A = this chain, B = another copy of it.
Amino acid sequence: MTPDPIYEGVLAGDPRAVARAMSLVENDTVAGTELLQSIFSKTGRAQLIGITGPPGAGKSTLVDRLTGEIRKEGKAVGVIAVDPTSPFSGGAVLGDRVRMGRHFADAGVFIRSMATRGHLGGLARATGDVALILDAAGKDVIVIETVGVGQAEVDIARTADVSVVMLVPGTGDEVQTLKAGIMEIADIFVVNQADREGADKLVQAIAANQALRPAAADEWRPPILKTVATAGVGIAELWGAIGRFRAHSAHASTARRRTRQAYRLRELLSHQFLQHLENSLPAGELDRLIDRIAAREIDPYSAVAELMHGYVGRVPRSGPAGA
């Protein structure tokens, strides 16, 4: 291919090229897709850590501290914040600069907040694209921070190589959180603000919840760690636990990476199909169809069937995998 400054810049780990590349893919441009195509073969090296927890659990602080811990080993870190309730990703006013805090001057750290609004159904896709860019840019570890109480957000967390679930004592949400499906995606539990009252009770509640589930002798048993992220307490232990999980669960990681690719393929397919449809239909056609549905002149299922019949005609004998 012809030399492309953004492509070359991303592979060289240049922060400005990385930021430009992210904007290209977030804005869903042709140049962005071409870039992803060309960098894809250079990806797959980075370790993805998903950190999820309720609003106010102190995720940003924990991620900041964990980043510092990983940097001690000289590893490059990328952070993706997907949290609509975070002042960082939610409020465009502050943005990544403030968020970066003490890592601002560190070339080994790149932080990106995902604007969760406006990615119509494409949050997971956009997050995956941004992670690929960080991967290609040579980040060894990519931390994805999600709020953990939305479907797309949970899907992102559970397809990471390791999934950390954060809880905080004393908010009254413990029981609710424990009953939610979020517990099942945890490889590691973190009880943050562990200096607050109720921390031990929360640890016990998680342990009791775990005890309900039978596990094979060689199966990974999610450890329950206590942290005080604001004071840096328990962060080295968290990074240690992540390492142990990685060593223990190489097999699980391979399966998750496959699941991640399966998600991505489905997302890309539906996204491309809708784009193709919108581009091929005469101008205003889709709008007229929506008007007719809103007026109950046609039901959406029949409308979709007709569109599908018209646009998805040929069924070849084999797809690209058979080539």
Interface-facing stretch out of A7-15, A221-229, A234-242, A262-270 = A262-270
Task: With A261-B294, A276-B312 as known contacts, state yes or no: A177 contacts B322, CB within 8 Å.
Answer: no
CA distance A281 to B266 in the complex (A): 14
Neighbouring B residues of A285 by C-beta, 8 Å: 318-319, 321-322
Interface of A is mostly: helix
CA distance A85 to B312 in the complex (A): 39
- Whether a CB of chain B sits under 8 angstroms from the CB of A302 is yes
Interface-facing stretch out of A137-145, A146-154, A200-208 = A146-154
- Whether a CB of chain B sits under 8 angstroms from the CB of A310 is yes
Q: Quickly give the copy total for this chain.
A: 2
Contact B181 A90 (CB under 8 A): yes
Interface residues of A in 133-192 (CB under 8 A from B): 147, 149-155, 171-173, 175-177, 179-182
Q: Size of chain A's interface in residues, with CB distance under 8 A?
A: 98
Interface residues of A (CB under 8 A from B): 33, 36-37, 40-41, 43-44, 54-56, 83-87, 90-91, 93, 116-117, 119-121, 123-124, 147, 149-155, 171-173, 175-177, 179-182, 257-258, 261-274, 276-277, 280-282, 285-286, 288-294, 296, 298-308, 310-322
